[in-house]
Structure 1
Amino acid sequence: MIPENLLLDYSATLENKGASEIIISEKSRADFYFQIKTGEIKMFNLNEQGKEFVQGIFYDGESFGEPPLFGDFKYPASAVAVKPTQLFKLSKTNLFKLLTNNPEINLKFTKALAKRLYYKATILKEISVHPPEHRILALIDFLKRKDGSDKLFQVELTCQQIADLTGQRVETVIRAIKQLEIDGEIKLINRKVFR
């Protein structure tokens, strides 16, 4: 999102995180901007029964956990490295200086946050109103638009990740994917989902 050289110019540090290492704890104070160089980060909440609800999965070049920096509230979710990850960590103060001094980056940053808000609003509607098949297609279509590809799109998520992102059980996702294949909405090739 923000060019790496610019992050370093504003005193960002590059940190290595191991798989399953917590980056952000829910309800902790937001003092840093995080951007992934390589790896994968999952933001999630746990309910009282210990069931995980995934707020988002982030990959190379993406940032995560920014809204509390601007809203001056605590993190509403936790973030964990899914696999070994390198990420940039920049203080909130230096992030604001960077954005103030680089209006073109500020605009790109704002657009990226707006897309993320759109995704959240879309998924929330899907979870509250629609059947499992519709929820899954909405998620896949969002990912395909994000990828920007017109050709057959391969979904890189596991059934567990799809379940976590759509608020469903894995068994429900598996049944829904089979139904979507029967209906011709998706293709299954070597156990991978395509649309």
Structure 2
Amino acid sequence: MIFSEEILSSLGADVLYYKINETIFSEGQLPNYYYQIFKGAVKLTKDRENGTESIFGVFFKGQCFGETFLFADKTYPFNAVAMEDGVILRVPGEKFIDFVTKKPEFLLRLYRFNAERMYFRYAMLNCLSINDSMLRIKELFTILKELHSVKGAFSYQIPFTRQQLSSLAALRLETVIRTVKKMEKDNLVEIRNGKIFY
């Protein structure tokens, strides 16, 4: 959890409820709020001309998203979309910036989160440079498992559909489906009720 519910409430946070696939903010909008997930998951996406989407980041309970744009005079270069029904705390941007600039320990907490996010982003770029689809998906699963600090074989449930995995891994849906089946056959993953465990 980046900031507690109590801290965000003291800054006048709104509690917003989102349904799966509902847009939280859109590409081209000015950033006016700090967003932190209280429940659910959010993806940062860009729709492509061919009807596909690229996923630039995925965020889970306790994490914030899009906050770095509060510190720049730029519009959002992507959309934020709910990946499942969820609850988000939203604080006016000016109040949030005033708060973190007056409380260096909280600004440091935000820097640490951003450093971890940058590590994940560069690990993902490295993952996308792998040509072999099985190695690429295996590396993606390893990154996700490490991100959530889960250890042990088949102990981490991949929180994405095959379609979302295809967007994350920049592979065709058919390739992801075929590769995951082969990974199951090779005992690299387990499939339980349609869910992937790594």
Q: TM-score, normalised by structure 2?
A: 0.88
Q: 8 Å contact 2:42–2:59 — kept in the other structure?
A: yes
* Structure 2 spans left out of the alignment, 5+ residues: none
Q: 1:82 to 1:156 in 2, by over 3 A?
A: closer
Deviations 1:104-128 (A, max 9, x none): 3222211111111122222223223
SS, match of residue 111 in structure 2:
helix
Q: How many residues align?
A: 195
What whole-Å deviation, never above 9, does each CA across 1:46-87 have from its counterpart, x for those lacking one?
A: 111121112223222221112222233211110122333221
Query: Are the structure 2 counterparts of residues 5 and 77 from structure 1 closer, same or farther at C-alpha, using a change threshold of 3 Å?
Result: same
- TM-superposition CA deviations, 1:110-155 (whole Å, max 9, x none): 1111111122222223223432112212221111112212222222
2:194 corresponds in structure 1 to 191
Segments of 5+ residues of structure 1 without an aligned counterpart are none
Give the match's secondary structure for 2:20.
Answer: coil
Q: Is 1:179 paired with 2:182?
A: yes
Are 2:142 and 1:166 aligned? no
| CA–CA distance in structure 2, aligned partners of residues 187 and 19 of structure 1 | 26
Identity of aligned residues (%): 31
The answer to whether the Cα contact below 8 Å between 2:23 and 2:81 also exists between their aligned partners in 1 is yes
In the alignment, what sits opposite 1:125? 126
CA separation of 1:125/1:150 partners in 2, compared to 1, >3 Å: closer, same or farther?
Answer: closer
Q: CA RMSD in A?
A: 1.9
Distance of aligned partners of 1:139 and 1:129 in 2 relative to their CA distance in 1, 3 Å threshold:
closer
Letter in 2 for 1:164: S
1:108 to 2:109 alignment: yes
Answer yes or no: is the 8 Å Cα contact 1:123–1:135 preserved in 2. no
**Residue 63 of structure 2 is aligned to residue 62 of structure 1:** yes
Question: TM-score normalised to the size of structure 1?
Answer: 0.89
Amino acid at match of 1:80: V
How far off is 1:45 after superposition?
0.5
Distance across 1 between alignment mates of 2:85 and 2:143: 26
Question: Separation in 2 of the partners of 1:181 and 1:17?
Answer: 34
